[in-house]
Structure 1
Amino acid sequence: MALRKRFLLLALPAAMAAALLAPMAQAQDKFIVLASTTSTEQSGLFKHLLPQFTQASGIEVRVVAVGTGQALDMARRGDADALFVHDQPAEEKFVAEGFGLARRPVMYNDFVLIGPKADPAGARGANIAAALKRLGDTGAGFVSRGDKSGTHSAELRQWKLAGIDLASAKPAGYKECGCGMGPALNIAASTNAYVLSDRGTWLNFKNRADLGIVVEGDQQLFNQYGVIVVNPAKHPHVKKDFAQAFADWVVSPTGQAAIAAYKIGGEQLFFPNASP
């Protein structure tokens, strides 16, 4: 009897500790991994947006900011619970293959061609296709991200519209960095080269040197972002409910208002356009 009493006394603190730790462990598990493009991170949007979602839901969002192509590959492997990216054809293919539950539009901004303020290629005032044609003809320095990101995909489409086949011969000044938007802008600033950037990252970029916007406003430069929840049928460990809560929030009136409220120097970086 004494032995049993001693066992109960020893077991009681362990049981109490387990009971106290269980809610803590559950709270620590209340997070999702969000694979996203570098532009949402480097523009500062997520620092503004995600704390508001966490405060409203109690769900932490752990961002892995890579190119859209890499983000989609991560999700295909089951290494992310949700995607926030900007390459609509690739996103629709991802969903059609069964890796995503649905693609929902969230917001848009635009791409801009950045270059030396002196514009040695004479690209200013042209549309994007004509501007890239001039860069190709003059051999002006151009920094390509070369990382299969949404911005890189958009850039490749613009070169094609300019009638330049990069697969057969790259222009003399064309260099690939295999890097994110911020590093690509840094390289352009240090070498006085041209680069295609999303407007949000450009507005948040501090090391501009002698760079400025050369081409903007062309409808070909429209840049749409979407959110996708990874399909748990492909990867059962995906935190579908938490990921869905995030997707629902960013397209809700509250999430859309939070996106619209993000500004730098009074200029709005992203424009919400979720479907009603």
Structure 2
Amino acid sequence: MKFRRLLAACALALAATASMAQSIVMASTTSTEQSGLFGHLLPAFQRATGIAVKVVALGTGQAIDMGRRGDADLLFVHDQAAEEKFVAEGYAEQRHPVMYNDFVLVGPQQDPVQVRGKDVVAALRKVSAAHALFVSRGDKSGTHAAELRYWGLAGGTKGSGYRECGCGMGPALNIAASTGAYALADRGTWLSFRNRGGLAVLVEGDTRLFNQYGVMVVSPRRFAHVKAAEAQKFVDWIVSPAGQEAIAAYRIDGKQLFFPNAAR
């Protein structure tokens, strides 16, 4: 009897080890998570490979910090300058472009400071001059980094209505909707956001609003425990025709949220 129990315990331990070997941790952005994209992509990847992906959704800066600590096997983020620095510092061997969409400036439909148009820099100058309410994520995310670039181009002065929430894209939009504030959002989260209240897209189409996403395997040279082989299988799948088609197929209300552009 004791021998059988020992065998059963060994079998359970082996099963648990095999299960752990077939899962990876991906640090990613709240925009990819809250848009519903991963709920669409990851089951398809698991069916194709048998590998489960555990997503930790953070701002891009925080996701990259996870990679620097070796707390993730894979990064799926959207701040190209920070991603290239991550590779240059030896935390990843390569960055792979995967998909893109764009940022939009949203605000009250009545647009009290008249920002509507295609020039995000001119719009932010008007927000600043009017001291209009503006909700910033303030969380080191890719969206926050882009927003700070646009404020810099606008002269760097944000006005007394500027507020940082230190939160994800969905909560930031909730605050903007409840207070009648302006905010920068990625289009994917905006399209999936249902609590818009009186908000509308006011600025879009500026080429500076382009929003590129990339994926990187955390280097096993830095962290021996990283599941680099399994993580690489995700990279290979997401840049393959199957993965790229899965990205293109994800829609909300018939609208495509992300556009595949892996270099092949």
TM-score range, shorter chain: over 0.9
The 3-state SS of whatever aligns with 2:93 is strand
Cα displacement (A) at 1:246: 0.6
Counterpart residue number, 1:260: 248
What are the equivalent positions in structure 2 for 1:97-176 lying under 5 Å apart?
97-165=89-157, 170-176=158-164
Alignment of structure 1 residues 116-265 onto 2, 5 Å: 116-165=108-157, 170-265=158-253
Q: What TM-score do you get using the length of structure 1 for normalisation?
A: 0.93
**1:209-264 deviations in whole A, cap 9, x for unaligned?**
00000000100000000000000111110001110001111101000000000000
State the one-letter code of the partner of 1:275. A
Deviation at 1:15, TM superposition (A): 2.8
Question: How far apart in 2 are the matches of 1:35 and 1:20?
Answer: 29
User: Structure 1, unaligned stretches of length 5 or more?
Assistant: 1-8
Q: Which runs of no fewer than 5 residues in structure 2 stay unpaired?
A: none
> Is this contact kept in 2: 1:139–1:173, CA < 8 A?
yes
The size of the alignment, in residue pairs, is 264
Specify which of 24, 28, 33 is matched with residue 32 of structure 1: 24
CA distance in 2, matches of 1:214, 1:10: 71
Following TM superposition, the consecutive aligned residue runs of length 4 or more in structure 1 with deviations greater than 4 angstroms are: none
What is the distance in 1 between the residues matched to 2:54 and 2:118? 41
Q: Distance in 1 between matches of 2:36 and 2:3?
A: 50
- Quote the Cα distance in structure 2 between the aligned partners of 1:232 and 1:118: 52
Q: Give the deviation of 1:14 after TM superposition.
A: 1.9
> In the alignment, what sits opposite 1:43?
35
Between 21-30 and 61-70, the greater mean CA deviation after superposition: 21-30
Q: CA RMSD in A?
A: 1.3
Matched, 1:71 2:63: yes
Is 1:83 paired with 2:75? yes
Percent identical residues: 64
- Of 254, 258, 263, 1:270 maps to 258
Larger Rg: 1
1:22 aligns with 2:14: yes
